[in-house]
Structure 1
């Protein structure tokens, strides 16, 4: 089951990479269009949508790889037993926040769909389309916290902590 979930994280990371390329292409087209005096409305909005999508879709993989910012100043000074309990509290708190983010982002997509909400900019994009990436990333983020809790319960390590990450923190 873990392999399936890890593949889901990889799929989200691939979509995040595609979104970053889309943002790059949108910005590049905007620059080229200004140079040749073309009017391509909405390119800035599309670049923004793609960057936001890339950010949210990358959340589960960055948690898995231990690349989120972690404040270890306090954790390093705690005794092992207290530190373990504190990490449990942090994982449960992270899951709670991620579930709330997932719930409200899905709700936002649904509300945008049902009300036919469109972007007020020149692009006039139906907002549910760029919001799908945010909702999918938030669902993946909540799943990654739940997965981390389950692996911690089994005694396995979910969040990777390499030597470089330990050195930087």
Structure 2
């Protein structure tokens, strides 16, 4: 059963990474369409707003995937200089704080999206997009990130190590 859960979680993190990449492609398409519209004398209203929504969605959707790939900045200078037993507890402490903050954000994000939906809050642009729609994409990404942090925290307790892959190639460029 744990292999099934592990497979579902890994697939979810990867799918969020793909969705984040698609959001970046959407930003590119929106910018190119806006440029073409300007060159032809047309108006593509709302393009900057939609690009902003896609950027927020891309950022939050990529968090969990980036965490699993070791692309987040971690304070390794402390972790490599402590004994292995102490390192485990420092990592537990860091993941516990990160997990608590992420779930705190999700809790208030749910309330924020709910009230935007309830009051029918719309964007200030001419497109008048209901704001709960782009906020929901951000909230989903934050939820998956909180889930990933919880996953790694539980792995620290059960296995003694997290499941973050060390990104050795990226780390070597800074040395």
1:109, 1:128 within 8 Å by CA — same for their partners in 2? yes
- TM-score normalised by the chain length of structure 1: 0.94
2:102 counterpart residue number: 98
Q: CA deviation at 1:168?
A: 4.7
Determine if contact 2:123/2:131 at 8 Å carries over to the other structure: yes
Q: Check conservation: 1:148, 1:158, Cα contact below 8 A.
A: yes
Instruction: Give the TM-score taking structure 2 as reference length.
Output: 0.91
Aligned-residue RMSD, C-alpha: 1.4
Counterpart for residue 84 of structure 1: 88
Q: 2:42 is matched with which residue?
A: 38
Distance in 2 between residues matched to 1:165 and 1:85, nearest whole Å: 26
5+ residue gaps, structure 1, are: none
Unaligned runs of 5+ in 2: none
- The residue that corresponds to 1:125 in the other structure is 129
Q: Is the 8 A contact 2:37 2:44 kept in 1?
A: yes
What residue number does 2:26 align with? 22
Tell me whether 1:74 sits opposite 2:78 in the alignment.
Answer: yes
Runs of 4+ in 1 over 3 A off after TM superposition: none
* Number of residue pairs aligned between Structure 1 and Structure 2: 169
